[in-house]
Amino acid sequence: MNLGDDDVIVEDVEMTAVSGTVVIDPGHGGIKKVGGSSANNTTSASEVPEKAMTWSLAKLVRSELKALTAATPGSKVTVHLTRDDDSNLGLLDRAQVAAKKKVDVCVSIHYNGFNGAARATETWIYPESGGNVNISEDPDLATRVQAGMMGALRLFDPKAKDRGVKDSKKLGVLKDVRLGNSRGEHPTRACLVECEFIDVPAVDSLLNTGPNAAKAMKGLAHGIATGISQDLEANA
């Protein structure tokens, strides 16, 4: 697939028509902590806040999902964002967007930061030990999204490290009761992505300041969108 007017090509997997409703959650936002959601957790080496990068990527994922739908006759995918500006929502409110819209897929977007050297991309789900009622489906969604991200990132940086799929009880936005899931009815599959460590100068160049940053970000969004589309297809 040609990414806009540039010369970078991301390999697509041939897909059949898909339908469904998706929520993309740009992590953080605003100027203060709200309901367990901090305003901003980390900042890139060039001082770009995580909250701005999550919002930018979420909008790109929405665009890429719409493009994939348009390219596949018979597809109909509706995409919602949990926020459309620099505001913060509590974790419950973010998950409740998915519950109210009765979505099929919810993906929360974040970036990591640590010591300016550590690198990796990872995708998280809520664990079975925490009561995840979608434990047979969430790992598949996470694996598809993780694979999409890594395929895109490694086109631009072969050093991109794959940390795979993990689980944690600490991710309140993924709690089933908040997403509207129950053991009797659990329509929403959910995961949270941590797209690289942006405090690393090489990653900051890759995604923010370098000559191919716009292409890399669009490729990353395309990878996430492809993973979501594949998941919708598999659960049709």
Taking alpha carbons only, the member of 140, 142, 160 closest to residue 150 is 160
Tokens of 124: 């998280």
pLDDT of residue 16: 86
Q: Which helix (H) or strand (E) element contains residue 67?
A: helix 50-71
- β-bridge mates for residue 178, sequence order: none
**pTM of the predicted protein model:** 0.94
With vertex at residue 191, the alpha carbon angle to CA 104 and CA 156, rounded to the nearest 5 degrees, is 110
Tokens of 144: 């598809």
Ordered structural domains, the chain, with CATH: 19-234 (3.40.630.40)
pLDDT of residue 140: 98
Digitized pLDDT (tens) for each residue of the chain, 236 residues in all: 334 444 444 555 677 899 999 999 999 999 999 999 999 999 999 999 999 999 999 999 999 999 999 999 999 999 999 999 999 999 999 999 999 999 999 999 999 999 999 999 999 999 999 999 999 999 999 999 999 999 999 999 999 999 999 999 999 999 999 999 999 999 999 999 999 999 999 999 999 999 999 999 999 999 999 999 999 999 99
Region class of 116: left (phi > 0), else alpha (psi between -120 and 50), else beta: left
CA dist 64 and 175 (Å) reads: 27
pLDDT of residue 13: 60
Tokens of 225: 């969108």
70's CB contacts (< 8 A; 6+ apart) are none
CA dist 91 and 225 (Å) reads: 23
CA dist 225 and 165 (Å) reads: 17
